[in-house]
Amino acid sequence: MHKLVVIPGDGIGREVVPVAVQALEKLLPDLRTVEAEAGWDCFQHGGTAVPDATFQALRECGAGLFGAVSSPASQRVPGYRSAILQLRQTLQLNANLRPVRSWPGVSPRPGVDLIILRENSEGLYSGREHLEADGVAIAERVITRAACEALARRAQEVAKARQARRITLVHKANVLPLTCGLFRDTCREVLEGEGWAAEIDECLVDLAALRLVEQPEAFDLIVTTNLFGDILSDLASHWSGGLGLAPSLNWGNGIALAEPVHGSAPDIAGSGRANPIATLLSAALLLRHHWQQPGLAKRLETAVETFLREEGKADFGFETTQVVGQGILAAL
Ligand code: NAI
Ligand code: MG
């Protein structure tokens, strides 16, 4: 039996997640879902952004589908820490897989097909931030050999499955020789050991940003640290057709949590304009990588492609979630 924890979260998370659950129910007749809470609303009502029951459900089921959560950016809220960061760190979801490819009708450029594999549990997201003095704020960037090794082993697995020709390590070791140096050297050691013989390349993060704009075809599998991966994956999502088409999988320690790259989009929440494709494609990642059902993953991606080939250029306005969702479910 396939078990799935469903965490809609805040904003458009609640609108796009039900579409992907319907698709998974259609593909996996034995699917059993458990709904769980997380996010800003959850914090405001219950005083915690991720209740123990949510952690427990994920540990028991091993698979989850997460929508998006809101985090206040205007001021620090005592006791609040982003729900998705807590889930990634507590459950040791050490890697975040973010594929970017061209889709018919919506992509500004054909032929892009790359993956960003981002470290997901440390780096500048360590949560270690403090005020040292008035006007002096410090954030600590944590890089550990153990997390880099786990990330590189995952990269090896992804490279093998994809028959990747090149793995590009993206860092800033010229300015951060200790942290980025440890990342680069550890990844190289693991990747140059046994396994898939892809070319191991490296690129400083600023140049990687330019190359992703100028020549995205130059990349195959990018492996990078947490914040760099966060920024580069939003940038690269442009080639897919934007954040509404960018999927991800938080992955590690026997648990996989699928999650669209986008946030809770308060500017369009409740309007019906949220595109559910990023979440549908995240569900496909769960099928391919966690449940080991590449055939079903392909079926879902083909349904997305079929829909976009016919309707990709259309603007469905306030009916986007409904029309796109129904169109893809019908093509499944
Ligand atoms: P966002 O990703 O929510 O939205 C950025 C822009 O993209 C907005 O104009 C939005 O309307 C559009 N957009 C996003 N997803 C879309 C979709 N599926 N269909 C159509 N348009 C879409 O990022 P933003 O505005 O910076 O953050 C909003 C909130 O989300 C913040 O509270 C932030 O902390 C949170 N956030 C949460 C994330 C998560 O849960 N993993 C990730 C990023 C942001
Ligand atoms: Mg992001």
Question: Which ligand minimizes its atom distance to the CA of 273?
Answer: 1
**Structural domain of 11:** 1-94+243-332
Please indicate, yes or no, whether residues 213 and 301 belong to a single structural domain of this protein: no
What type of residue sits at position 241? G
| 6 closest CA partner among 86, 48, 93, 67 | 67
Please indicate, yes or no, whether residues 170 and 291 belong to a single structural domain of this protein: no
Query: Is 237 a pocket residue for ligand 1 (Cβ < 6 Å)?
Result: no
pLDDT at 324 over 90: yes
Report the CATH number that the domain containing residue 61 is assigned in CATH: 3.40.718.10
Please indicate, yes or no, whether residues 114 and 216 belong to a single structural domain of this protein: yes
Residue 146 is inside which H or E element, if any?
helix 145-162
Residue of the CA atom closest to atom 23 of ligand 1: 263
For position 73, what pLDDT does the model report?
A: 82
For position 197, what pLDDT does the model report?
A: 77
Ligand 2: centre distance to CA 18 (Å):
22
Average pLDDT of the residues in 54-72 = 97
Query: Is 86 a pocket residue for ligand 1 (Cβ < 6 Å)?
Result: no
For residue 48, give the 3-state DSSP assignment. Answer: coil
Average pLDDT of the residues in 233-245 = 97
* Domain end residue (candidates: 240, 268, 298): 240
The residues with which 257 forms a beta bridge, in sequence order, are 64, 250
The band of 74, judged by pLDDT with boundaries at 50, 70 and 90, is confident
* Domain end residue (candidates: 180, 212, 240): 240
**Burial annotation 239-277 (CB, 10 A radius, 16+ → b, else e):** bbbbbbbbbbbbbbeebbbbbbbbbbbeebbeebbbbbb
Q: Within a domain: residue 100?
A: no
pLDDT at 79 over 90: no
Residue of the CA atom closest to atom 37 of ligand 1: 263
* CB-based contact 100:236 (threshold 8 Å): yes
Active site residue: 10, 41, 220, 230, which one? 230
Please indicate, yes or no, whether residues 179 and 261 belong to a single structural domain of this protein: no
Q: Which two tokens stand for residue 32?
A: 């059993």
Query: Is 243 a pocket residue for ligand 1 (Cβ < 6 Å)?
Result: yes
* CB-based contact 54:5 (threshold 8 Å): yes
**pLDDT tens profile 41-55:** 999 999 999 999 999
Q: Number of structural domains, the chain? A: 2
* CB-based contact 63:2 (threshold 8 Å): yes
Shortest-distance atom of ligand 1 to CA 12: 18
* Domain end residue (candidates: 205, 223, 240): 240
Q: Within a domain: residue 324?
A: yes
